[in-house]
Structure 1
Amino acid sequence: MTALPEKRFPSTADRTDRTDRRLAMRGVVEADLPELHRVDQEAFPEEPYHYFELRQSYDIHGDRILVLDDGQKLHGYVLFVTTSDGYVNWVKSLAVTPELRGRGLGRRLMLEVLRRLRAEGVHQVRLTVEPTNATAITLYQSLGFSFEGGVRKGYFGPGEDRFIMALGL
């Protein structure tokens, strides 16, 4: 049996600075929506979610959004949604603000998502990633995700190609 990602990468605490350790991971609350929008705009300046999309995600899937909070502002989030049959979960978005990238925060968010989904009995986690996003691809592969086929041309519309990656739980 292959070791779970948590066992292969038990902690990034030894690689983080004190600022990162003060970041609390918690569920999103309604008052976080402006900050959540800011994080998304900083993380994805060319195509951030519209505020209303984050609002609707909160209203529908609020228990499926985790944030990284330093007590004053947010620095990252993950949005993940399970299909109605409970079998598959899609990670819709993973974001860390540019100034804190490279410190294991995306990994920290993803490991928590995977822990929760295993506890719920979800069988598979899927996500999409831009083919040019080598950093994200490396992260997902290190967690055990693999490609499902090649590049899906126009997956999100013209010029919006994506890889689909999956991980069996």
Structure 2
Amino acid sequence: MSDHDDPHPAIRSAREEDLPEIHRLDNEVFTSSPYSFLVLRQHFDAHGDHLLVRYEGESLQGYVLSAVRADRLAGWVHSLAVAREQRGRGLGRQLMEEALRRLDEAGVLEARLAVEPANTPAITLYEALGFSPDGAVQQDYFGPGEERLIMSLKL
């Protein structure tokens, strides 16, 4: 029985065949700035053990992508996406908890992330997980008009 057929969905590392569904979900959730398939592929190749997915049957419910800096002083959560119809069920928390567990297991000292300041649901989740803002909102973080709040959590 494959992971896709598991009656009790579990979070697992992504496989190459998951990339089209991750790309589809990324475009659904991040309509103004989704990852290109090229960037997702590069993240998969470089950080495959930190690209995590959760399926129910054949349906991708969500994914989280993190990466570990070479010095292990920090790990970055680059993206968290939960399908719109799956929100409010704790899936984002489950994905984040597994990502943080894997970062900690990798010896990372601090988890960091950048979040859109207007994304109150995400900020509320991150704060509930123990993240705190590093300071003021950083203007033009991802380019002109793309401000982000940087948050961190000691592991």
- TM-score, structure 1 as length reference: 0.85
Counterparts of residues 69-88 of structure 1 (less than 5 Å): 69-88=55-74
Q: Distance in 2 between matches of 1:133 and 1:153?
A: 15
Residues 50 and 102 in structure 2, CA contact (< 8 A), matched pair in contact too: no
The one-letter amino acid of 1:46's match is S
- Residue of structure 2 in register with 1:92 after alignment: 78
Structure 2 unmatched runs, 5+? 1-6
2:130 partner SS: coil
For 1:62, give the aligned amino acid: G
For 2:136, which of 140, 145, 150 is the aligned residue? 150
Contact residue 111 and residue 152 of structure 2 kept, 8 A = yes
Residues 77-119 of structure 1: CA deviation (Å, up to 9, x unaligned): 0000000011210000000011101111000011111222222
Provide structure 1 residue ranges, at least 5 long, that are not aligned to the other structure: 1-20
> Could you tell me how far apart the structure 2 residues matched to 1:126 and 1:115 are?
14
Aligned residues: 149
Match 1:108 to one of 59, 74, 94: 94
CA deviation after TM superposition for structure 1 residue 122, in Å: 1.1
1:71: Cα distance to partner?
2.5
- After superposition, the CA RMSD in angstroms is 1.2
- Does 2:15 correspond to 1:29? yes
Identity of aligned residues (%): 54
Once residues 39 and 163 of structure 1 are traced to their aligned partners in structure 2, the CA distance between those partners, rounded to angstroms, is 23
- Give SS of 1:110's match: helix
SS of the counterpart of 1:80?
strand
Q: 2:105 & 2:55 partners in 1: Cα distance?
A: 24
